[in-house]
Structure 1
Amino acid sequence: MQAVQAGRVDASVGTAPTAVSGVFFQVAPRISPVAEKAPVPDILPLASLTPETPPGVFDAARTGKPEFVDRKGFGGIYNSHALETPASPYQVMAGTVISASLVTGLKSDLPGFVIAQVTQPVYDTVSGKHLLIPPGTRLLGQYDDQVAFGQSRALVVWKRLILPDGSSLEIDNLPATDTQGYAGLADSVDYHTWSLLKGVGLSTLLGLTAHSGQGESDSDLVRAFRDATRDAANQAGQRMVEKALNIRPSITVRPGWPVRVIVHKDLILKPYTGVAGHG
């Protein structure tokens, strides 16, 4: 008996260091059945609450950026276009910046036209000796009324150039920029925040009114009428908020605002010999 007990003691002593040794893997304790059966929260209903991209807001994944990144090579080392020489010595070439200021203002609530006036003379690009666009030349343009949510700059393009002597040149949508070259014109923007706050406030008021007056002793008819009123109030509030969110920002640019015109296609004119206009 003593030999058997001694063998048992030796076996227990031999296994004790093994259990605490860092060489062997430690077996984690089993999770209790209660923890294994813990309910997993259902997140599927939350997917329906994901806001959709509102109209006018650009999604980077849908605007061709992946296609731009995945675009293959340029197909060779040589450019497909040959060297061009100026077609006329009286030419304003692409890259020229024309300084002007607005004669008429613009407001993006409705589409319309805008007029600007050149404030500095423009000479031919090659020699810089021939006056081609004198100060006082009028620019006739058009602005875009499709303003996206959060947009703060008005998109303006110029379509015609009218010199003081009455001669004119149709131009291909030359873009308008500010004095630093940023696309569009930015003066003041009205995001109609007050209209949105009014819609939210009225929606909240309708919801509180519908939930007031509840009691446990109400009859089924009264309870049904109250539920119908509450649902109607919620729907009315949601529609009011949606209408407020659909109001586009109003961009206003005042007369006299400085503007720059970027020439992106060569303009062929003739030397101006008349008197510069004075607006």
Structure 2
Amino acid sequence: MIVLLVAINGGFSHSKSDTSSNQHHYTIADHLGAPPELEKHSNSTKATTPTADKSSIIHTGQLDEPNSPQFGHLARLSGQKKPLTPQQRKQLDGLLVLNNSSQQADQNHIQQQDPLPDLNQAQPDSHSLNQQLQATKIQGSVASRIIDPNLFITKGAFLDCILETAISSDVAGMTRCQLSRDIYSTNGKVLLLEKGSHIVGEYQTGLEQGQARIFVLWDRIETPTGVILDLASPGTDSLGRSGHSGYVDGHFGQRFGSAMLLSLIGDVGTYYANKSKGNTNKIQFGDTIGGTKDLASIALQDSIHIKPTLYKNQGEHINVFVARDLDFRSVYELKLSH
């Protein structure tokens, strides 16, 4: 029974497919015919897709973006190891020409924006009329008044002094002098520095060749009444010239004496060397003469730099130029006298 049913179903299905295959519906495509077959392209043709020719790329004046397909395609062509086809070389040439033209345009644009200064251009004349008409501006000075001229010794006063100690410039040291006269206030009415006041100063070493004066800085003054005042003023001569003059020892004998003695010994050696040439028994003095000349040169180099020494004796008269205003209001006061 089951076999009979299967046979019936199979026969029924087969008959149905035969019936459907025999049926046909006519359309417009049956009248137009079969469609034409498209031409198949090879892989090499796809890899070398033609782009715009060289002339079109040059005249655009714009360079493709690095991320564009055309730029990436040309970059791959330039980096491959296989020989390029003529079409690929044209594409690369067009890209290079476009790149050079773009760089040149950028350089011209930069030069137009920021031109370099012309060094050969004439500079303005400092002696022109415009420069000469500009006056020199000097800062003005404001006048002031001495509070009490009875208790001031103003800048520029002279102090007469007698040296109590001698001065030698070989070594730096201290010195002292004594006022030889009374010093009054600016208006000349009040005695401020009594005769016999002591002034202490200091001097430095190092007198150079050709100098005949030594600089002394007088630092502090002390009066017989016990008043002490910082002075810090330079010493001068009686005419106001800075520095103190004295006897200058140039040390000529020390500087040149040893060199002259060695040179004399060398000359004596040369004389006896020449004299011995006439004798049959010759004695050679060449090494001795050469050594003597070398010793003379060394002695001269060591002694030529000896500096001169200035001597100024005690008891000599000097002057001190007051370099600042001296105020005595803190130690003196004025009272009416009957």
Distance (whole Å) between structure 2 residues aligned to residue 232 and residue 245 of structure 1: 20
- State the one-letter code of the partner of 1:259: I
- State the one-letter code of the partner of 1:163: T
Correspondence 1:234 to 2:320? no
Distance (whole Å) between structure 2 residues aligned to residue 87 and residue 186 of structure 1: 38
Mean CA deviation greater in 156-165 or 229-238: 229-238
- State the one-letter code of the partner of 1:149: Q
Correspondence 1:120 to 2:181? yes
CA 1:117–1:269: 2 relative to 1, 3 Å: same
What is the Cα-based RMSD across aligned positions, in Å? 2.8
Unaligned runs of 5+ in 1: 1-72, 274-279
Distance (whole Å) between structure 2 residues aligned to residue 128 and residue 157 of structure 1: 26
> Retained in 1: the 8 A contact 2:163–2:317?
yes
Q: Deviations over 1:94-127 (max 9, x none)?
A: 11111111111111111110000111111111x2
Q: 1:161 aligns with which of 221, 225, 228?
A: 221
> Retained in 1: the 8 A contact 2:173–2:203?
yes
Unaligned runs of 5+ in 2: 1-131, 334-338
**Equivalent residue number for residue 166 of structure 2:** 105
- Count of residues in correspondence between the two structures: 194
Shift of 1:142: 0.6
Distance (whole Å) between structure 2 residues aligned to residue 166 and residue 239 of structure 1: 57
**Equivalent residue number for residue 135 of structure 1:** 195
Q: Which structure has greater helix proportion?
A: 2
Distance (whole Å) between structure 2 residues aligned to residue 209 and residue 121 of structure 1: 66
Q: Deviations over 1:180-224 (max 9, x none)?
A: 22221122221112223422421312322453425779xxxx86x
Q: Deviations over 1:35-85 (max 9, x none)?
A: xxxxxxxxxxxxxxxxxxxxxxxxxxxxxxxxxxxxxx9x83433442232
Distance (whole Å) between structure 2 residues aligned to residue 82 and residue 186 of structure 1: 39
> Retained in 1: the 8 A contact 2:175–2:202?
yes
Distance (whole Å) between structure 2 residues aligned to residue 161 and residue 175 of structure 1: 13
> Retained in 1: the 8 A contact 2:256–2:304?
no
Distance (whole Å) between structure 1 residues aligned to residue 203 and residue 166 of structure 2: 11
**Equivalent residue number for residue 93 of structure 1:** 154
Tell me, what secondary structure is at the counterpart of 2:220? strand
- State the one-letter code of the partner of 2:152: Q
Q: Which has the higher contact order (CA 8 A, sep 6+)?
A: 1
- State the one-letter code of the partner of 1:266: D
Q: What is the aligned-residue identity percentage?
A: 24
Correspondence 1:193 to 2:233? no
Tell me, what secondary structure is at the counterpart of 2:273? coil
